[in-house]
Each structure stands twice: as C-alpha cells, then as structure tokens.
A and B are shown apart, each in its own frame.
Chain A
Amino acid sequence: MADIRPSGYSKHRKKQTYSRRLGTRATPLQTLMSERVGGMGALILVILVLPLLLSNNYQYDVAISMGINAIVVVGLNLLIGYAGQISLGHAGFYALGAYASAILTTRYGLHGALAMPLGAIGVGLMAYVIARPILRLSGHYLAMATLGVGIIINIAISREAWLTGGPDGMYVPAMQVAGVELYGGQIWYWIVAAFLILAVWLALNLIDSPIGRALRGLHGAEVAAETSGVDTTRYKVMVFVISAVMASVAGSLSAHFSEFVTPDKASFFHSILFVTMVVFGGMASTFGAVVGAAALTLLPQLLADFASYEHMILGLIMMVVMIFMPKGLVPSLGALARRRRRQEARS
C-alpha cells in the first residue's frame, strides 16, 4: 500500500486547511474562489441556466441522466478519491436502490417517496455489514471483493424472477404526488437537480470536516494515520456506507424517472463506468466527479451521429484525456489555470 500517493491532496488545499486551523481569515476573494462557496454557486448557476438550452424531452432526459450519474459518482469519489479505497461494485448498490423502489411500490403498494429512504436504509445497513470484512483488504484484493459484491447482487436480481422480473426487468409506475403524476423532463430535472445539489453540499462539508481530514490522512498513509490516533477502519466503513447510500438514492431516482428497471443496472460494466467517471473527471475533486459524470453521459449521445466511428472516437477521447491529464479533467484544468494566473501576475 506504500505506493498510494495522496493525489488529491494538493498543496493548494493543504495551505487553505492550515490557514483555517490557525485562525487566519480568508479574504472575501479567496472565499469566493473556494470549492464550497464559489464551486457550489457555479454548480447552482449551471443548473439554473441549463434549461434555457434544452429544447425537448430527449435533451432533458440526457441532462437528468447526467444528474443521476453525478450523484453516484460524487459519492463514489468520496470513497475512491478521498479515502483511496476502490469499489468495482457500486452499480450493485445503485441497482438495489432502483429495485427497492420498484418492488416496494409495485408489489407492496408503498409510495415512492417512502420507498426511496427505505431502500437507502436497507442498502446502508447492507453496506455496513459487508464493509467491515471487505475493507480490511486493500489494493487488488479490495477490487476483487467489491467486484464480487456487485456480481452477486447482479446474479441475485437476475435469478429471483418472482420478485424482480428476472433478466427482462420490471416496470415501475410513475410516482404520484398529491394526485399528480410525476412525468416529463422538466419535473424530473428539478427533482434530480435538488438531489444533486444536496449530494454535492454533503460531500463538500464532509471533506472539510475532521472526517474529511481523517480520510485524506488514511489515503496518504494508512499506518501514519493509525499511529496518529485515526480509527481508519471506522472511517473507511463510514465513507463506504455513505457512498453506497448515495448510489441507492440515485438508483431510486432513476427507477422512478425511467419507469423501468433491469438487472443491467447492476452489471459489472456499469460499475466500471462509474469508476471511469470518477477518474475521468478527476479523483478527489467533487466537481471533477460532477464533470466526469456529465461528460461521459453526454459524449456517447453526441457521438451517436458518427455511427460506426462512435466507439472509436469515444475511446480516443478517453485515452487522450488520461494520457495528457492523468489527474482527470477538473484538477488538471485547475492546475493549468493557476499556472497561467501566476505567470500573468509575474509578467
């Protein structure tokens, strides 16, 4: 584990944290540029302005998919980017959330708004039980174990056809609120947007709390963190549960929005896609996670017009980004902007 470097632990951030701890006040400009205030503001602005550019339900659909993926990826980024623990099974939790909503509403007549938290609690408990033995592993072994969890969930969903509809999936009725059916791009855009803002806000606060510092500590050097009195297992388990719950909520949203669930949601490739979004956007950057999710949801749609070349171009873009921006889109572009600014200040 010695070769895990704190890639998200940039010098810039370190300085900021120290200054806050020492009680030195940040200037108003610095506050505005910070992730918590400035970044959050930018995200809300983008979410508010985006509908002006969307002209039909299909475009709303893509925007909603971006938002749902972003919620999962923001949670997964806490685990991968900050705590340095990989999970190749998060699509499993996403699918469990989706199926919890689907099954509780269709077979037990529960309201969707109740099914979602119930699903999230169930997934949270399950993640907690699994996390303790699994997170004692590290590196490739952890990857294998989480992969196993995802695959078991996928198989269970495909096989238990009496409950889940089997490989062909099942319908989820449209959610009703006060007698009105929640259907259509616009309504779901705002629902998903609210959940995304909540997820990002939670993630940013978590990272800036003592828990966040402990997570970064255990990412940097687990042994060192332990000797400084950080209960690393507890924090690892905690962040695993949080990310699983976020995936579950996103799954519930997607089930109600698309009115249909299939075991595909739990597939291995779906898990890989989530991890790819984290890495593409930039590990240990919450907004990187949002950008990664948005970019990798949008790209296949934009490239669909290239027909046969779609997959090749997508593969090429991903390779080029990872070769020239190994830290991911947002951190690399951020570093570039900072260097530019410093050069300008000097000249």
Chain B
Amino acid sequence: MVKRFTRALMMVGAACIALGVTAQARAQEDPIRIGSFLAVTGPASFLGDPELKTLEMYIHRINGAGGLIGRPLELIHYDTGADANKARTFAKRLLEEDEVDVILGGSTTGTTMAVIPLVERAEVPFVSFAGGVVIIEPVKPWVFKTPHTDRMACGKIFEDIRSRGLSRVALISGTGGFGKSMREQCTQVAPAHDIEIVADETYAPSDTDMVAQLTKIKNTEGVEAVVNPGFGQGPAIVTKNFAQLGFEVPLYQSHGVASKKFIELAGDAAEGVRLPASALLVAEKLPMDDPQRPVVMGYKTTYEAEHGEGSVSTFGGHAYDGLMMYKQAVEAAGTADPAAVRDALEAIQGFMGTAGEVTMSADDHLGLDLSAFRMLEIREGDWVLVE
C-alpha cells in the first residue's frame, strides 16, 4: 500500500510540476549580462510573472534601440517558485557560472534575503523587487531595492490622519504575513508621527466576520481613526462590518488592497475609505503637470499594449524601476564594471520611477520618501486622489 501510495504521489507531483511555465530571453556578442531570479511560478507568481514580462519587454526594447553603452543586454533568468533554497542555488549559478554583471530580481523578501550573503561576497550589484524593509536595513553595500515598504505605508496613513487633526488610532490587523508585518511597522513608527495606538485587534485571514473586534474598538474611549493592515478578502469584510456598525470615524485601508477588486467586494461600504497606493494605480488621474505622470503612463501603455488592457500591476513596475535605474547607473558610469555601477547606483539623484522619485545615498538604498505613495479616497466606486 505504501508503494502504491507513494507512486500516486509521484504522479501528482509530476503533474503539478508540469503545469509550471517559465520563459527566458537571450542576446548575442559581448553583451552586458543581467541575471534574474523571480517567482514566476508558485504562490508568489502574481509578483514574478509581471516582473519577468517587464524585464523581457524592456530589455528587448533597449536592445532594439542599440543597447546600453553600445553593448546589447542579455537576460539570464531562473524561476525560483518563491523557494529560498532554489533562489540561493540559482543566484550562485548566476554569479559563478553565468558571470552576470548585475542581478535584478527576487520577488519575495525570503528569496532576496537568502541571496544577500552571496552577492555581498561576490561583490555584484543586486537590485531587489521585494517589499521587506529588512533588505536595506541595515544597509548592505551591494544591495538596493525598488518597492516602497510597509513602514512607508504606515507613515503615509499616519501623516494623513495627523493632517486631519486626529491622533488616537485603533488597529485591526490580519494575522497573515502581510498584515502581521505591517502591524509591527505601524506600531513602531506611530510615536514618530505623534500617533497613539489605543486599540490593537487582530483577525485570521480566513475569518468571515469581524463584528466582535470592531465592536470592541467602537467601545474603546476616544478612537479617532481606524487602520486596517491586511491583504485579500479580510479588509473587504472589515469595511462592510465597519459600515454596518455605523462608525463615525474615518477608516484607512493599506496598499495591500489597492485594486478594483477591493471596491467590488466591499461595495457601497467602501465609500469614503482612504488608502495609500502607488501612482501607477491612478496613472490617468494624475494631474497633467505631475512629474511622475509621463513615467507611469508610459509604462502602463507599453505594458498593456503587449499584455492586454488592465494587465498592468505595481509589481511589474518595481522591475521596470530596477532595470531603468541600472540603465541610468551604467550610462552614468560609462561601464558595466560592477564596482563602478554600484557607486553609480548609490549616487542616483532624482530618478523618476513608477514607485516615485528615487534619491539614493550611502545610508539609504531605497531612496523613496513618503511622496512615493498617493493618498486615495474611494468615492462612487472609484479612486479619487486626496492631497
């Protein structure tokens, strides 16, 4: 029986593996070699897939326009399936066997962290597309990252709360990875923004009703705003329950639900909810004179022209920012030499990407400030820029 059982398992395993899909692109003649490892399949494929598509698309375009400092770009990509051990082995392969000039990639914080000791020893610049603040804090000489962090989302929300003259905040957080990490960051940065956290409730990602937690918050003395760090369907339920209980204070959601899906799920209850989001989400709504508008509109139209209407996501944008920052650094350095490019990356000033304006320094390898996030309010089933 054991044998038959294990054989059945083998079949299932093989079938699962056979479903995976990856892609890879190659160019010729003394190219600049760009290494990449992304979670194109597996649980984080919603990150890796648009990232890889973006890299392929723009490397193709750069090559079509004559390459970078006269040399073509070659992309060498391996699919990690969000597995940190695989990421580590592939990174070693990129560094030792493929001898890449730079690594752009790492869809998740876990895969990125697993690779950091290797790139630090190999002394090759590495631009990560993952969210975690631990990647760049403390600063590692060879490691950079493009996406904004949870901490910045908290900062943005708290800034907005303060601008409304409020300060006593209740947190209701999901216990999933995203909610948990953001809750920690929010609690940490609250004092710096003069915010007092007066209630701190949690719910499991699979809960279908948060009335109990919200009632407790409602009965807490002096709550002036409610913040909901969470991901997936939980925040939509919180929003609905929040409306049912007739709260009179504002509700803030996180950047984790910044998609049309959230408005659909929460329905009318979403009216008046505020959340921080990347400019890419509201590309068309940005004022004409907004310096970020040409970048996000350009990326959005290019990506959607190739992959279909409404396919653009902020995750692909992180890959775009990484590649373009590398391009700018190589052009500034006039060479693809890793050490020179690293210095040029660290010296980037006022680079405008989809995540915001980047100014790197020796002790900031992210280079974004709170302006990277736009504060949105949901009105009549659509996003409206606050500010």
Q: Which of B84-92, B189-197, B343-351 contacts A (4 or more CB under 8 A)?
A: B84-92
Asked if B22 is at the interface of the complex by the 8 Å CB criterion, the answer is yes
Contacting B89 at CB < 8 Å: which of A1, A62, A166, A279?
A: A62
Interchain nearest-CB distance for A256 vs B (Å): 12
Q: Which residues from chain B contact A62 at a C-beta distance below 8 Å?
A: 89
Is B291 close to A, CB under 8 A? no
Contacts of B114 in A (CB 8 A): 169, 258, 260, 262
Contact call A171/B110, Cβ cutoff below 8 A = no
Q: Are B6 and A279 in contact (CB under 8 A)?
A: yes
A311/B17 in contact, CB under 8 A: yes
Bitwise interface map of B from 263 to 290 toward A, beta carbon under 8 Å scored 1, else 0: 0000000000000000000000000000
With a 10 A CB-CB cut-off, give which of A7, A57, A314 has the most chain B CB atoms: A57
A residues near B121, Cβ cutoff 8 Å: 183
| 8 additional contacts (CB under 8 A) given A318-B14, A319-B11 | A4-B2, A166-B177, A167-B110, A168-B110, A264-B84, A304-B78, A307-B77, A319-B10
Pick from B6, B14, B117, B177: contact of A319, CB below 8 A. B14
A-B pairs with beta carbons under 8 Å apart, 5 shown:
A56-B96, A139-B2, A312-B17, A314-B18, A322-B10
Q: Mask for B13-47, Cβ within 8 A of A = 1, else 0? A: 11101111111100000000000000001000000
What per-residue 1/0 map shows which CB atoms of B100-135 lie under 8 Å from chain A? 000000000110011001000100000000001010
Partner of B23, one of A3, A258, A307: A307
Instruction: Evaluate contact between B95 and A58: CB separation under 8 angstroms.
Output: yes
A40 interface residue per 8 A CB criterion:
no
Q: What CA separation (Å) do A308 and B97 show in the bound complex?
A: 20
Q: Across the interface, do A304 and B85 meet the contact criterion of CB distance under 8 Å?
A: no
Contact A308–B23 (Cβ < 8 Å): yes
Taken together as a complex, chains A and B put the C-alpha atoms of A50 and B214 apart, in Å, by 63
List A contacts of B93 (CB < 8 A). 58, 61, 301, 304
- Residues of chain A within 8 A (CB-CB) of B132 are 168
Determine the chain A residues whose CB is within 8 A of the CB of B89 once the complex forms. 58, 61-62, 65, 301
Complex CA gap A258/B88 in Å reads: 8
Nearest-CB residue, chain B, relative to A5:
B3
| CB 8 Å contact bits of A39-72 with B (1 = contact, 0 = none) | 0000000000000000011110110010000000
Distance from B268 Cβ to chain A, minimum over Cβ atoms (Å): 35
A143 pairs with B14, CB closer than 8 A = no
Q: Residues of A contacting B97 with CB < 8 Å?
A: 56, 58-59
Task: Take A62-B89, A168-B132, A315-B18 as given contacts and tell me if A3 and B1 are in contact as well, using a CB distance cutoff of 8 Å.
Answer: yes
- Contact with A315, one of B5, B15, B77, B83 (Cβ below 8 angstroms): B15
Q: Give the Cβ gap from B134 to chain A, nearest Cβ, in Å.
A: 7
Query: In the complex, what residues of A have CB within 8 A of residue B180's CB?
Result: 161, 166
Q: In this assembly, does A272 line the interface, its C-beta being within 8 Å of a C-beta of chain B?
A: yes
Q: For the complex, give the distance between the alpha carbons of A319 and B13 in Å.
A: 10
B307 part of interface (Cβ distance < 8 Å): no
A275→B24 CA distance, assembly (Å): 31
- Give me the interface of B with A, judged by CB distance under 8 Å: 1-3, 5-7, 9-11, 13-15, 17-24, 41, 77-79, 83-86, 88-90, 92-93, 95-97, 109-110, 113-114, 117, 121, 132, 134, 177, 180-181
Contacting pair A318 B13 (CB below 8 A): yes
Cα–Cα distance between A260 and B86 once the two chains are bound (Å): 12
**A interface secondary structure, majority:** helix
A310 at the interface (CB under 8 A from B): yes
A contact residues around B85 at 8 Å (CB): 65, 254, 258, 262, 264-265
Complex contact B2–A264 (CB within 8 A) = no
Complex CA distance for A158 and B3, rounded to whole angstroms = 32
In the bound assembly, the distance between CA atoms of A59 and B89 in angstroms comes to: 10
Chain A hits for B110, CB < 8 A: 167-169, 262, 264
Q: Which residues of B contact A262 (CB under 8 A)?
A: 84-85, 110, 113-114
CB <8 Å contact, B84 and A143:
no
How far is it, in angstroms, between the C-alpha of A279 and the C-alpha of B4 when the chains are bound?
Answer: 11
* Residues A57 and B96 in contact, CB atoms below 8 Å apart: yes
Nearest CB in chain B to that of A173: its residue: B117
Interfacial chain A residues near B6, Cβ < 8 Å: 80, 86, 275-276, 278-279, 283
A-side contacts of B177, CB under 8 Å: 158, 166-167
> In whole angstroms, what is the CA distance A7 to B24 when docked?
43
Cβ distance B330 to chain A, nearest Cβ, rounded Å? 25
In the complex, what distance in Å separates the CA atom of A240 from the CA atom of B10? Answer: 22
Question: B22 contacts A308, CB within 8 Å?
Answer: yes
> Does A122 belong to the interface (CB within 8 Å)?
no
- Bound-state CA distance A114–B284 (Å) is 60
Q: Is the CB of A259 within 8 A of B3?
A: no
A58 touches B5 (CB 8 A): no
User: What are the interface flags for A259-277 relative to B under an 8 Å C-beta threshold, 1 for contact and 0 otherwise?
Assistant: 1101011000000100110
CB neighbours of B95 from chain A (8 A): 58
Nearest-neighbour CB distance to chain A for B113, whole angstroms, equals 6
Known: A168-B113, A258-B85, A264-B110. A322 touches B96 (CB 8 A): no
Residue of A nearest to B175 (CB): A159
Which residues of A (204-225) have their CB < 8 Å from a CB of B?
none
Q: Which residues of B contact A314 (CB under 8 A)?
A: 14, 17-18
**In the assembled complex, how far is the CB of residue A221 from the closest CB belonging to chain B, in whole angstroms?**
13
Cβ–Cβ < 8 Å partners of B78 in chain A: 304
